[in-house]
Chain A
Amino acid sequence: GENVEQHPSTLSVQEGDSAVIKCTYSDSASNYFPWYKQELGKRPQLIIDIRSNVGEKKDQRIAVTLNKTAKHFSLHITETQPEDSAVYFCAAPPGGNTGKLIFGQGTTLQVKP
């Protein structure tokens, strides 16, 4: 079946600490893994994505790692800042069809100053 599990549901860190959010997907054919950030009352915005032919991708303070064997991928945010506070969603396309995304349940990240 099509399923994406995301943990934790809430995460609170001190400013400057690192935050890690993990997702597990069920369809081994999934080949694209985006992460979205959604601030209160706003649209989901793509912050980083990774394709199945690489194991890690980094963009400044944000990185995503992928373990295809275990079918899980993780978002890593280093040197967190208060403006990183938001809800983060992972997603995966079932059957490798990137036209349809199955989203995780979301993680509410709070960065305390």
Chain B
Amino acid sequence: DAGVTQSPTHLIKTRGQQVTLRCSPKSGHDTVSWYQQALGQGPQFIFQYYEEEERQRGNFPDRFSGHQFPNYSSELNVNALLLGDSALYLCASSLGQRGYTFGSGTRLTVV
């Protein structure tokens, strides 16, 4: 039974570029949440997707957008990258609101 998988594991981008991160939820899970974890900080909620729609959103600008596909997998897109976007991006899947399971994350470095 595969857990939550994220790709890529590491990524280096230049300021101003765009990036897409991917997440495949744990088998049986239908909800995907995205978090940003800056170095030395706790994860911060970006948004959550359920039934292919954004259900909740944290305090992140519109440069952060996402998508959920019919197979429940999800993408996080960040446009016009800033140096401050450098962080570990974590995906968590759940069945509805239960059983939160985190993936190993994508380490994004913006230079």
Report the count of interface residues on A (CB-CB < 8 A).
20
Q: Does A98 contact B (CB under 8 A)?
A: yes
Check if B58 is an interface residue, CB within 8 A of chain A: yes
Main secondary structure of the interface of A (DSSP, over half): loop
Interface size on B, residues (CB 8 A): 24
> Which B residues lie at the A interface, using CB under 8 A?
31, 33, 40-45, 48, 50, 55-56, 58, 90, 94, 96-98, 100-105
Q: How many A-B residue pairs have CB under 8 A?
A: 50
Interface of B: prevailing SS: strand
Given contacts A100-B48, A106-B40, A106-B41, contact A43 B98 (CB under 8 A): no
Of A44, A98, A101, the residue contacting B98 (CB under 8 A) is: A98
Q: Are B103 and A43 in contact (CB under 8 A)?
A: yes
Question: Complex formed: what's the CA distance from A89 to B97 in Å?
Answer: 19
Contacts A103-B43, A105-B42 known; A44 to B97 CB distance under 8 Å? no
Question: A43 and B102: CB pair below 8 A?
Answer: yes
A12 on the B face (CB < 8 A): no
